[in-house]
Amino acid sequence: GCVLVVSVIEQLAQWHNSTVKAALEKLCDYIPGKYQNMHHMSCAIDREMNADVVCHSLRLCKQDPGQPLCHLYSPPKLHHLCELMHPSTFIFLPLQKSFMGFSSVCAFPLLANLCEKMKYVLRNKLPFEDFDGDKFSTFPTLRGYHWRGRDCNDKNTTVYPGRRPDNWDAKSDSNCNGIWGVDPKDGIPYEEKFCKGADSKGVVLLGDSAGAHFHIPPEWMTVTQMSAKSFANLPMAFSDELDWPQFSEITGFLNSTIGGWTDSLYLRLRKRNRCNHRDLQNISQNVYFPVNVAPYLSFSLARNQLLDNPAIVIYATIGNDVCNGERDTLAHMTTPKEMLSNVVQALRYLDSHLPNGSHVILTGLVDGRFLWDNLHDRYHPLGQLNKDVTYSQLYSFLDCLQVSPCSGWLTPNETLRNLTSERALQLSNVLKEIARSEKFANFDIFYMDFPLRQTAEEWRKMGGEPWQLIEPVDGFHPSQIAAALGTGITWQKALHEWPQVLGKENPFNDQIEAIFKDQGGH
């Protein structure tokens, strides 16, 4: 984090031909007020020193005994290091105190309960603001309606998206799809008239950081594009864990503001049947290690087997089982035996909680060799100004720090990349076999490969380059373009091979839209 911030400040000074202090003031002007907490750093930055040296001087970076020295940039000249070590050159006590104070803020008695609630919310993927406890919220971020359909009455636990209508919603909207009341012409409730027998169903994603749609805006660290407008979305991004589920491939519902366009399974299901409005849940998490989703389903999944509509559940942990930041990465990957146990455990839980008539789609793991092949020799946003940081350097830096999102794929070691893909294929075959052989009472189950190859082909036909399908800042996650293209490929496969999953088209869609307008959008 220190290297990132210092790099941006130094490049701002270079780009605007200003002092470091002026560059830091400019950056602080860009950032929304409550995030302006970096003013101490200016006294520790010298334009002649690169970010690695500055951060080591601040003692925010260190070299552990017996471990390699982790650096993003090439080492500086010797005389610069000598200057750096002089006691009068830098004052770093204030910054150290700032960081230490931040890390211990939860020890403050009045904030302890709030911190515990935040930990509970993050651990169980539940809305922070949910007054009736039905796992749906009227607040967008902090696991609110960016992640799940918006609640339309947060004081009534029996009112939430995805439930079957109460008395056909003649008097109020119990399932938050905006359809309620009685047609004065014939006395029939609108919900009964338009949605009865319409095969309504919601969509639930059990995913990882790719499913949550992790994204760090490149304009946050590209000084040639930086302005106050660049950071306008920073508070929202942080309160959504740097995820953008509202634009994602499975549960996206808002027009993208991060490039590309939004196309999602939810939007297509809603277009196919307007009664599906707001019936979405994105239960994904940003972790870079194998995850057994079964334990947190009991806290996170909002589906009542007796009261709610069926759901399409997408099980898509496309990389976590082979991705970690460990030095001996192969030893920390999920084995086929573990994969079988974890997935079957999750499916059994779903079978005991999903309404009858639901569907589960298992998505295979991605072949992550695509990342190195298309990015390693390109310049990262931090390196574009001076042509001094490639993705290969970034990957090595993160790997050295043991925080790489995927040591097995983000490496110059071709043998390791191949072994990682080999394990990913083995785990995908486990999923394929589960879909072929396992049977459940309340849902049928399908398998599909992660459509990376088809997505790349489709993008090439549109005149695009493969590297544009990867998030530019982390060099790891699918980009907004990849997410939107992937939706179309998944939809076409479902239409041709599993039409029962998508349900039939509602012939009353136009009438519904003509009579009812979304009440406040999502």
User: d(Cα 162, Cα 302) in Å, to the nearest integer?
Assistant: 9
Query: Which SS3 state, helix, strand or coil, does residue 341 take?
Result: helix
- Of 29, 30, 24, 96, nearest in space to 57 by CA: 96
Give φ, ψ of 416 to 5 degrees: -65, -40
Active-site annotation holder among 209, 248, 264, 428: 209
| Burial status of residue 92 (CB atoms within 10 A of its CB: 0-12, 13-18, 19 or more) | middle
- What does the H/E/C string look like for 262-324? CCCHHHHHHHHCHHHCCCEEEEECCCCCCCCCHHHHHHHCCCCCCCECCEEEEEECCCCCCCC
Q: What end-to-end distance do the CA atoms of the chain give, in Å?
A: 34
User: d(Cα 444, Cα 500) in Å, to the nearest integer?
Assistant: 10
Q: In this structure, what DSSP letter does residue 504 have? A: P
Identity of the amino acid at 118: M
- Alpha helix (H) ranges present in 17-171? 20-30, 51-57, 78-85, 93-103, 109-124
Query: Which SS3 state, helix, strand or coil, does residue 445 take?
Result: strand
Give φ, ψ of 70 to 5 degrees: -90, 125
User: d(Cα 181, Cα 168) in Å, to the nearest integer?
Assistant: 9
User: d(Cα 223, Cα 191) in Å, to the nearest integer?
Assistant: 53
Q: How many helices (H) and strands (E) does the chain have?
A: 19, 5
Rg from Cα positions in the chain: 25
Q: Respond yes or no: is residue 209 known to be catalytic.
A: yes
- Tell me if 127 sits within 8 A of 143, measured CB to CB: yes
Residues annotated as part of the active site: 209
